[in-house]
């Protein structure tokens, strides 16, 4: 085996924990609590360790953690430390091919770091009888994807083409203003799993899994993505089990992600990024691939839904970016293939999903309009409900999300419209794949869910929204439906929101107010009496939530029905991004805010208590990025909106977008 440093760079090493009860807990690494490191042969720093006397309390959940930080490999265990080792220097000895404490040659690392893995290349083989038992040795080198029986008594070599690894680098040295937020930093390692220590008390009735999806990797080696929406998808799992909380995360293995890791470059078009062609012929080929949809990304980094049959699918706005995952292991199962002939390249990133159906919109860029489709549980075939033609502009408006009522589908048509020409350009335009057409008009259409008939199409004031909150039917005294009311997180026709979500803007907060927008809960009223004009006004005073409002959720039992409460991310100024969790009372027109100084919470997700009769009887779950690179899971009481529990992660997570709840399976 080669001894030069380059031979080891990129090697993937699994750190495998062990129960200290006389037998090893070492299995195929995809099923273990493991982390990933990149060998670099630079000085290493011990940040914490534990002595052998402390090992008796080590459990599976106290997995060894290694992470990359400012050019150093951090080695630590969950909740354990040893003052006599902190600050010690380690070095990589290329002569003896081992990691040793500074000043010691070829040493067994476990003799100095009883909590850590032995990395010893001098023998170039796996020991006989591996895996080991006993407290003195806690692990070994284990290349990913190799089973134990295939490695015993064999020479260990480093692959010249290592398996997929995240090309980690130090990004925390950038200027972050106040504190260092993991929210806008690439995930530290490809995966982690273990049990978290809980502060407070999680309700015993909360049993199931919260899954959250979102961008988690914003660089490929030294190439940095521009926009929040460009990042490769990271799926996060919070499993609640009778008061306990298990945590894990993993990269969604889309074709875009795997190609980037293999070739170390961008290979598919992301939200603001386009691969750089090597020649004019390559550019022509790229255009052809784009027109066919082949070069569009399948990076499913936006949402995650549980279908009525139990399958879990990660989604983005490209149809090919529908990827099924295992909610227990977070393994990527494969692309969710639609079996119909509807075609198309894009759909809404936020379908309406219930136990009985899946509803979504397919924008048509050729004949500007929208096709409304449904899919039954257990099926991959979408069936057409009806079609809406656009009333203005050269292309359909962006439909990131849409609302429904019990009997109707509400189809928004914003003046922020798709632009095929922008998609063909190699460099990003100010509005990326969109164009702003204020003179084209703004509309809302209403379609009957049963017949597909358009029952209303009204013009409304210009608006921009990513997310609708809910909709319901307004009835007169005789019980006849006279109007549709639809609420959204409205950006007041402000297209600069897309520019504000560039990573350089999110990372540049210096303490003064940069969230220069006037967001509100926008309430549409669409009359069903044939009137040509609808209404749009604020549902409550925007100052109640700091004029920052997005990422809403509701009690799912009230989907499409008249409701009172919504949970969202609001703002406490000064800030450059929504930094509160907010409970909105649409009857009293008041809001209650939760805030942690310097922290950025992600979407609040409401889970109702089984058997509850009150709309807000349940809990709200959020994943929070705190200062100094830390983060935690947060549980609030849905009624009082007070914190009842939190659990610190081993490290902070990137900002995520949307989640879903997977109830515990009945025995």
pLDDT the model gives residue 190 = 87
Cα→Cα distances 376→311, 379, 380, Å: 12, 6, 8
> Is residue 520 a contact partner of residue 563, using CB atoms and an 8 Å limit?
no
**How far apart (Å, rounded) are the C-alpha atoms in residues 310 and 328?**
12
242 falls within a domain: no
**How far apart (Å, rounded) are the C-alpha atoms in residues 394 and 415?**
10
Q: Which residues are annotated as a binding site?
A: 350, 400, 467, 658
> Is residue 351 a contact partner of residue 373, using CB atoms and an 8 Å limit?
no
261 CA to centre of own chain: 19
Provide, for the chain, the percentages of residues in helix, strand and coil under a 3-state DSSP scheme, each rounded to the nearest 5: 10, 35, 55
619 falls within a domain: no
564 CA to centre of own chain: 28
pLDDT the model gives residue 320 = 96
62, 63, 67, 72: CA torsion to nearest 10: 80
Q: Which residue among 163, 185, 206 closes a domain?
A: 163
> Is residue 458 a contact partner of residue 527, using CB atoms and an 8 Å limit?
yes
> Is residue 389 a contact partner of residue 395, using CB atoms and an 8 Å limit?
no
Identify the domain containing residue 83 by its residue range. Answer: 1-163
How many domains in the chain?
2
Phi-psi domain of 44 (left: phi exceeds 0; alpha: psi -120 through 50; beta: other):
beta
Residue whose token pair is 């080929």: 285
The total of other beta-carbon atoms located within 10 Å of residue 300's CB is 31
DSSP helix/strand/coil, 492: coil
> Is residue 235 a contact partner of residue 330, using CB atoms and an 8 Å limit?
yes
12 falls within a domain: yes
Phi-psi domain of 551 (left: phi exceeds 0; alpha: psi -120 through 50; beta: other):
left
User: CA angle, corner 622, sides to 519 and 79, nearest 5?
Assistant: 140
DSSP 8-state assignment for residue 554: -
What stretches in the chain show pLDDT beneath 70?
A: 1-180, 278-293, 424-428, 510-517
**How far apart (Å, rounded) are the C-alpha atoms in residues 653 and 181?**
9
pLDDT the model gives residue 291 = 61
User: CA angle, corner 160, sides to 159 and 162, nearest 5?
Assistant: 60
DSSP state letters, 1-59: ---SGGGTTT-EEE-----SSSS-----GGGS---EEE---S-EEE-----GGGGGG--
pLDDT the model gives residue 392 = 93
pLDDT the model gives residue 140 = 30
Q: Which residue among 104, 139, 163 closes a domain?
A: 163
58 falls within a domain: yes
**How far apart (Å, rounded) are the C-alpha atoms in residues 65 and 196?**
13
188 falls within a domain: no
**How far apart (Å, rounded) are the C-alpha atoms in residues 609 and 275?**
47
396 CA to centre of own chain: 27
DSSP state letters, 206-232: --EEEEEEEEEE-EETTEE--BGGGSE
Report residue 653 as tokens. Answer: 């997570």
Report residue 336 as tokens. Answer: 């969710």
Query: For the segment 366-395, what is each residue's pLDDT rounded down to a tens digit?
Result: 999 999 999 999 999 999 999 999 999 999
**How far apart (Å, rounded) are the C-alpha atoms in residues 235 and 252?**
6
Q: Which residues are annotated as a binding site for Fe cation?
A: 350, 400, 467, 658
**How far apart (Å, rounded) are the C-alpha atoms in residues 219 and 186?**
7
pLDDT the model gives residue 511 = 63
The total of other beta-carbon atoms located within 10 Å of residue 629's CB is 19
Q: Which residue among 115, 146, 163 closes a domain?
A: 163
DSSP state letters, 417-483: EE-HHHHH-SS--TTTTEEE-GGG-EEEEEEETTT--EEEEEEE----EEEEEEEEEEE-TTS-EEE
**How far apart (Å, rounded) are the C-alpha atoms in residues 92 and 3?**
11
Nearest to 433 by CA among 316, 279, 550: 316
44 falls within a domain: yes
**How far apart (Å, rounded) are the C-alpha atoms in residues 322 and 41?**
39
Report residue 183 as tokens. Answer: 């929210």
461 falls within a domain: yes
User: CA angle, corner 280, sides to 277 and 286, nearest 5?
Assistant: 50
Report residue 301 as tokens. Answer: 């980094």
Asked if the peptide bond before residue 590 counts as cis, ω within 30 degrees of 0, the response is no
pLDDT the model gives residue 568 = 97
310 falls within a domain: no
pLDDT the model gives residue 292 = 62
Beta strand 44-46 pairing with 72-77: parallel
């Amino acid at each position: 085996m080669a001894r030069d440093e380059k031979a080891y760079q990129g090697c993937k090493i699994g750190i495998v924990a062990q129960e200290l009860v006389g037998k090893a807990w070492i299995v195929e690494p995809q099923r273990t609590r493991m982390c990933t490191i990149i060998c670099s042969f630079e000085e290493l720093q011990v940040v914490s360790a534990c002595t052998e006397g402390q090992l008796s309390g080590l459990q599976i959940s106290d997995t060894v953690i290694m992470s990359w930080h400012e050019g150093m490999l951090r080695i630590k265990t969950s909740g354990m430390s040893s003052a006599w080792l902190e600050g010690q220097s380690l070095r990589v000895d290329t002569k003896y091919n081992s990691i040793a404490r500074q000043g010691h040659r070829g040493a067994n690392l476990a003799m100095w770091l009883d909590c850590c893995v032995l990395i010893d290349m001098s023998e170039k083989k796996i020991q006989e009888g591996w895996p080991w038992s006993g407290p003195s040795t806690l692990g070994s080198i284990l290349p990913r994807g190799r089973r134990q029986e295939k490695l015993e008594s064999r020479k260990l070599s480093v692959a010249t083409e290592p398996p997929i690894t995240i090309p980690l680098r130090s990004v925390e040295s950038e200027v972050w203003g106040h504190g260092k937020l993991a929210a806008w930093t690439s995930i530290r390692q490809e995966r982690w799993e273990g049990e978290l220590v809980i502060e407070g008390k999680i309700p015993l009735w909360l049993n199931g899994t919260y899954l959250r999806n979102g961008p988690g990797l914003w660089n490929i080696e030294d190439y940095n993505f521009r926009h929040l929406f460009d990042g490769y998808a990271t799926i996060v799992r919070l499993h609640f089990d009778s008061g306990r909380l298990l945590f894990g995360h993993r990269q969604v293995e889309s074709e875009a992600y795997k190609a980037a890791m293999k070739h170390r470059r961008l290979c598919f078009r992301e939200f603001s990024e386009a691969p750089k062609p090597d020649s004019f012929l390559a550019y022509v080929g790229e255009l052809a691939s784009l027109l066919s949809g082949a070069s569009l990304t399948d990076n499913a980094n936006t949402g995650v839904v549980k279908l009525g049959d139990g399958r879990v699918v990660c989604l983005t706005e490209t149809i090919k970016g529908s990827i099924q995952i295992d909610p227990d292991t977070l393994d990527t199962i494969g692309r969710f293939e639609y079996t119909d002939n509807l075609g198309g390249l894009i759909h809404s990133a936020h379908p309406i999903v219930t136990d009985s159906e899946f509803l979504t919109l397919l924008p048509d860029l050729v004949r500007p309009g929208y096709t409304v489709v449904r899919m039954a549980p257990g099926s991959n075939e979408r069936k057409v409900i009806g079609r809406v033609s656009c009333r203005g502009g050269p292309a359909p408006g962006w439909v990131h999300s849409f609302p429904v009522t019990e009997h109707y589908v509400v189809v928004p048509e914003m003046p922020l419209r798709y632009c095929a020409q922008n998609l063909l350009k190699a460099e990003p335009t100010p509005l990326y794949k969109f164009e702003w057409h204020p003179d084209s008009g703004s509309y809302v259409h209403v379609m009957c869910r049963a017949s597909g008939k358009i029952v209303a199409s009204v013009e409304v004031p210009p608006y921009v929204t990513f997310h609708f909150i809910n909709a319901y039917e307004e009835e007169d005294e005789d019980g006849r439906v006279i109007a549709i009311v639809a609420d959204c997180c409205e950006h007041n026709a402000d297209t600069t929101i897309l520019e504000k979500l560039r990573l350089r803007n999110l990372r540049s907060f210096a303490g003064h107010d940069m969230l220069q927008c006037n967001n509100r809960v926008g309430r549409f009223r669409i009359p069903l009496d044939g009137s040509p004009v609808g209404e749009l006004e604020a549902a409550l005073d925007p100052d109640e939530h700091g004029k920052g409002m997005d990422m809403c959720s509701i009690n799912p039992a009230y989907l499409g029905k008249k409701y009172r409460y919504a949970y969202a991310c609001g703002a406490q100024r000064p800030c450059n991004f929504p930094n509160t969790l907010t409970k909105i009372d649409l009857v009293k027109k008041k809001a209650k805010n939760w805030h942690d100084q310097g922290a950025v919470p992600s979407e609040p997700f409401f889970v109702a208590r089984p058997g509850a009769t009150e709309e807000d009887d349940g809990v709200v779950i959020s994943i929070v990025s705190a200062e100094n690179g830390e983060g935690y899971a947060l549980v609030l009481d849905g009624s009082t909106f007070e914190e009842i529990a939190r659990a610190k992660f081993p490290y902070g997570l990137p900002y995520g977008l949307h989640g879903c709840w997977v109830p515990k399976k009945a025995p």
